């Protein structure tokens, strides 16, 4: 196989980078309807009653411009963040990114399944100043497909392998033990 000149190699890499950057614009589904009606917040989750909690000022600032709705709830000894998303977006971030951004140490865990054994949860142990949390998250579509990874969901949505609206569910549980 012939060697590529440095100029050709740089041109090829630049072209591939440009193609990767423009790909979302090339495959963006034109029929996306950002006006999909919000169905309201669920009253319970896994048989437990959800108690609405107010968003903090910082949380409210994060959700400005978000394509959907964001709610915070108490679920027994857990806090749940529910995000209803009406079209694919890069504004949906993994919870680990948010915790990392405010100084937490992140320890990724293996993906787990829900109580029915069919939905995957991404999981991280997060810690800061003696506070230890288990953070689990998943994204669901109306057909009950699930993703434990925001990036995998985004590309599936962008490539029309799933249709919304979607629910992103984040569960945060205080842990008693240090890890």
Report if residue 11 sits inside a domain. Answer: no
In tens, the pLDDT along 36-64 reads 689 999 999 989 999 999 999 888 887 88
In terms of residue numbers, what domain contains 126? 35-174
pLDDT at 27: 43
Report if residue 111 sits inside a domain. Answer: yes
Report if residue 92 sits inside a domain. Answer: yes
Average pLDDT for residues 127-147, to the nearest whole number? 94
The percentage of residues in the chain with a pLDDT greater than 70, rounded to a whole number, is: 74
Place 116 in a pLDDT band, splitting at 50, 70 and 90: low
pLDDT at 112: 77
Report if residue 27 sits inside a domain. Answer: no
pLDDT at 120: 83
How does the average pLDDT of the chain come out, rounded? 82
pLDDT at 138: 94
Domain total of the chain = 1
Report if residue 50 sits inside a domain. Answer: yes
Place 35 in a pLDDT band, splitting at 50, 70 and 90: low
DSSP result, 1-20: -PPPPHHHHHHHHHHHHHHH
Report if residue 25 sits inside a domain. Answer: no
Contacts of 118 (CB under 8 A, 6+ apart): 146
Place 23 in a pLDDT band, splitting at 50, 70 and 90: very low
Report if residue 15 sits inside a domain. Answer: no
Of 129, 27, 135, 32, which is closest to residue 80 (Cα–Cα)? Answer: 135
pLDDT at 15: 45
Query: Bridge partners of 118?
Result: none
**How far from the centroid of its chain's Cα atoms is residue 51's Cα?**
22
CA dist., res. 136 & res. 147, Å (int): 12
pLDDT at 18: 44
Report if residue 6 sits inside a domain. Answer: no
Average pLDDT for residues 124-149, to the nearest whole number? 94
What's the whole-model pTM score? 0.76
3-state secondary structure of 84: strand
- Residue 143 is classified by DSSP as T
* R_g over Cα of the chain: 19
CA dist., res. 84 & res. 91, Å (int): 12
């Amino acid at each position: 196989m012939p060697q590529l000149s440095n100029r050709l190699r740089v041109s090829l890499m630049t072209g591939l980078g440009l193609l990767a950057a423009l790909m979302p614009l090339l495959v963006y589904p034109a029929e996306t309807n950002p006006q999909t009606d919000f169905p309201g917040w669920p009253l319970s989750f896994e048989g437990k009653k959800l108690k609405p909690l107010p968003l903090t000022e910082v949380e409210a600032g994060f959700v400005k411009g978000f394509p959907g709705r964001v709610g915070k709830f108490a679920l027994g000894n857990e806090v749940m963040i529910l995000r209803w998303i009406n079209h694919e977006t890069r504004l949906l971030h993994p919870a680990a990114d948010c915790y990392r951004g405010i100084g937490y140490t992140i320890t990724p865990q293996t993906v787990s399944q829900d109580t029915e054994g069919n939905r995957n949860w991404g999981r991280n142990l997060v810690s800061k100043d003696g506070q230890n949390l288990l953070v689990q998250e998943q994204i669901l579509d109306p057909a009950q497909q699930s993703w434990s990874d925001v990036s995998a969901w985004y590309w599936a949505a962008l490539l029309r392998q799933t249709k919304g609206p979607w629910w992103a569910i984040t569960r945060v549980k205080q842990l008693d033990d240090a890890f």
